[in-house]
Structure 1
Amino acid sequence: MKISKLWIQYLKWPLYLRISIIVFMIILTFGFTISQLEPDQFPTPFEGIWWSLVTISTVGYGDFAPKTVAGRILGMVMIFIGASFITAYFSSLSASTVKKQNARIDGSLPFTGSQHVIIIGWNEKANELVKMLRKHRPFHSIVLIDSSLNSSPYLEEKIHFIKGEPANDRILERANIKEAQSVFITADQHKNEQYADMQTILILLAVKGLNPSVYTVCEILTETQTNNALRAGADEMIKSYQLTSHVMISSFLSPPQYSQILMELSPVNGTYTTLERIQNELVGLTFQEVHDQLFECEKILFGIKRGEEIVINPPRHYILLQDDELLIIKS
């Protein structure tokens, strides 16, 4: 009964692995046998194993060779048996490599890494996000999930493509959602705004259902769905309808090329805004005093986040408290 179970388990292994075990056993068996048949020519089993290895692989160095009729017959039998298996081994190994590469390109190969970033939805925003992550977090693996692509848009080893509906648990598990560090959900550009937001929230629910602790950033296109996104567990919401309109009106009211100025405040260009928790030695100081200290470190303080309230450019005498967070421009 145990033998049959082991045999069934053996048959489940990949073909190249099964053939490699057979080849290994052939090399050991014939190597030990030839050392017994011709101890003068093969004084130790190691020499016999070496001879069987170079013979079965058709390399044939000629440093060891059987002299007796029995030894040569053994060598012929090994060549007929072993050469076929060694050929099958390399063929199956090549086929397995090609199959794995094709599966990686068409999005059917599961991702097995951890602490990776998952991007859901393929569009120009996702492409720009990939560029930023590759530049500023090159050590992170990126997993792209999309149902509209037929093949991976990237060939880099660090960018893995999964084809399928991202609201499907099976697809998220293929992306190893339980080991992911963060998830970015972009709005579906092929749907109207209301339906795209509903799809985003559905994906968010699926993500949080499988990994409640993963950090999620989702793009929301309509104001009516912002509360639903919060209820679904979004850690951060990008309200595209507000951001776009604010940039447009600021460009109208401000000098020309205002949008270009905003683009410069980007990690891609080396200068960006960040939110940092206040250090203990800065608690109780004024906004002016903290600004001057940070300026010495090539940082510009331009605002304070206190609870849910954000104060931009507060008065110079504004006192900073223990739980404040600092809005900083840094490079």
Structure 2
Amino acid sequence: MVLAAAVEALRRLLARLARRLRSNIIFDVALIAMLVWLASGISFSLVEGLGLQEGLYWALETMTTVGYGDIVPRTPAGRLIAMLTIVAGIAVYTALVSIAAGNIVEAAERRRQGYIRYRGARHVVVIGWTPASEAAVRELRSRGYSGDIVLVTEKPAAVAKEIDIEGLTLVRGDPTRRETLLRASVHRAGMVVVSTNDDAKTVLVVLAVRGLNHSARIVAEALHPENVELLHKAGADIVVPTRDLGGRMLAASLLEPGAAMFVENISRIEEGLIEIHEIPAAPYAGKRYIDVLLELRRHGMTPVAIRRRGRLITNPADDTLLESDDVLVVVVPTPAAGEAAPQGEAAPSGGGGAGGAGGS
């Protein structure tokens, strides 16, 4: 019974493949080429008194215009077959090459236009192309993330002309539609960034993404601070109120310029003197926060917060005991050109960034 089911499944697979091939013109041309090859080879072997293998060999080298000259027609009928084979072979060969080249060009254009289905997993999906999402993509690359980044946008052609980011796959479509998100393989993504320049649309996208993927870390941009809580309820793990944050930075620059300069320095990784990273706290489990702080300071790192079970503990008390599942948020100096990073620094890894984003 199992064998019969396997045979039936194989039969259906072959039938589906045959239907797909029959709908492709290159299959028709290849079939014509096969018929011409067999007809020429068999007829040539009969009229020239050669074996079938020799006749087929002669037909193939004649159709491809190789013409080694080791087998030549010696009868009038053989010469007639040779002329017909040469004409048919050139026509079929030219058609095959032109169709194959056309398919390659069409596939490249469809990819450039975003009419594709991404089939990877544990990747980063960026939904919406805005100044914030563009900065996020560039920041990911500058921090060493080398995994796949899939951008979902309704205008991929305009994006493709503006950006030169390596490894960015474009998927065209309405991000609020399930079909578009499935083509971007959102259900298998490790992290998702949503930035649409419209909070209402962002909420709909976050709801759709969370419905497809319950484990991915979703980071959303909120243009208005009153929508932050709504986005959290929709399923976003982290919400960044960009406009509100920018206004607070402007005010802080006037009243507390040192604090504003610190944040500005962190936000400009290419030119900044310091960076913020995360390192696992497992090696320090059971130790007091103050002891870990002093130990890490000797390696050029300053812990400023603890991420524990999705909650951020800022400025922890000195006697706070670290747990094995904790993550330390640390400030580290940016190495100058030619200098090594401080010992113990956990630089972002290319492939593991999305892979470790299963939860918040």
TM interval, short-chain normalised: 0.7 to 0.9
Q: Which residue of 1 aligns with 2:99?
A: 92
Between the two proteins, the alignment pairs up a number of residues equal to 315
One-letter amino acid of the counterpart of residue 78, structure 2: G
Which secondary structure state, in structure 2, belongs to the residue aligned with residue 108 of structure 1? coil
**Structure 1 residue 110 corresponds to structure 2 residue 129:** no
Match of 1:78 among 73, 80, 85: 85
- Mapped to 2, the partners of 1:21 and 1:246 lie a distance apart of 69
Correspondences of 1:38-53 after superposition (within 5 Å): 38=48, 45=53, 47-53=54-60
Match in the other structure for 1:22: 32
TM-score by length of 1: 0.79
When residues 322 and 93 of structure 1 are mapped into structure 2, their CA distance, relative to the original with a 3 A threshold, is: closer
Matches within 5 A, 1:173-212: 173-188=182-197, 196-212=198-214
User: Contact conserved, 1:116 with 1:143, CA < 8 A, in 2?
Assistant: yes
Give the equivalent residue in structure 1 for 2:322. 320
Contact 1:304 1:326 in 2 (8 A): yes
The superposition leaves residues 112-165 of structure 1 with CA deviations (integer Å, 9 ceiling, x where unpaired) of: 333332211112222222223334455422222222454442467732222222
Q: In the alignment, which of 61, 65, 69 is matched to residue 58 of structure 1?
A: 65
Q: Trace 1:284-303 onto structure 2 (pairs within 5 A).
A: 284-303=286-305
After superposition, the C-alpha distances for 1:213-260 in whole angstroms (9 at most, x for unaligned) are 333211112232222212221122222244323433332212484454
Partners of 2:64 and 2:274 in 1: CA distance: 58
Q: Does 1:310 align with 2:319?
A: no
Tell me if structure 2 keeps the 8 A contact 1:132–1:267: no
The residue type equivalent to 2:72 in the other structure is A
The one-letter code matched in structure 2 to 1:16 is I
Look up the match of 1:169.
178
User: What is the letter of the counterpart of residue 254 of structure 1?
Assistant: P
CA distance in structure 2 between the partners assigned to 1:36 and 1:114 by the alignment = 57
For 1:218 and 1:198, locate their aligned partners in 2 and report how far apart those are by CA, in whole Å: 12
- Which residue of the other structure, out of 117, 124, 127, is the alignment partner of 2:131? 124
| Percent identity between the two aligned chains | 26
SS in 2 for 1:272: strand
Question: Which letter maps to 1:83?
Answer: I
Distance 1:263 1:241 in 2: 15
Structure 2: distance between partners of 1:129 and 1:319? 34
Counterpart Cα distance in 2 of 1:167 and 1:123: 16
Structure 1 spans left out of the alignment, 5+ residues: 189-195
CA contact 2:194–2:219 (8 Å) conserved in 1: yes
SS of aligned partner of 1:131: helix
Q: Secondary structure at the match of 1:143?
A: strand
Distance between the aligned counterparts of 1:296 and 1:39, measured in 2?
90
How far apart, CA to CA, are the structure 2 residues paired with 1:258 and 1:306?
Answer: 25
Once residues 6 and 129 of structure 1 are traced to their aligned partners in structure 2, the CA distance between those partners, rounded to angstroms, is: 42
- Cα displacement (A) at 1:57: 2.5
CA contact (8 A) 1:106 1:151 kept: no
* Aligned-CA RMSD value: 3.3
Counterpart amino acid of 2:287? L
Question: Retained in 1: the 8 A contact 2:266–2:276?
Answer: no
In structure 1, C-alpha distance between the alignment counterparts of 2:41 and 2:21, rounded to whole Å: 26
Task: Report the counterpart of residue 265 of structure 2 in structure 1.
Answer: 261
Tell me the TM-score normalised to structure 2 length. Answer: 0.74
Taking the TM superposition and a 5 Å limit, the aligned residue runs for 1:149-168 are 149-153=156-160, 154=163, 158-168=167-177
Could you say which structure has the greater relative contact order, defined with CA pairs below 8 angstroms and 6 or more residues apart? 2
Residues 194 and 220 of structure 2 are in contact (CA less than 8 Å); yes or no, is this contact kept in structure 1? yes
Q: Say if 1:23 and 1:140 are closer, same or farther in 2 by CA, change over 3 A.
A: farther
Mark the CA change 1:159 to 1:321 in structure 2 (over 3 Å): closer, same or farther. closer
Deviation at 1:289, TM superposition (A): 1.9
Contact 2:156 2:171 in 1 (8 A): no
Paired amino acid for 2:194: I
C-alpha separation between the residues in 2 aligned to 1:21 and 1:237? 57
Q: Distance in 2 between matches of 1:27 and 1:226?
A: 69
Distance of 2:79 and 2:225 partners within structure 1: 84
Residue 278 (structure 1) aligned with residue 281 (structure 2):
yes
8 A contact 1:135–1:268 mirrored in 2:
no
Contact 2:206 2:236 in 1 (8 A): yes
What one-letter code is carried by the residue in structure 2 that aligns with 1:263? S
Alpha carbons of 1:289 and 1:50: their partners in 2 closer, same or farther (altered >3 Å)? farther
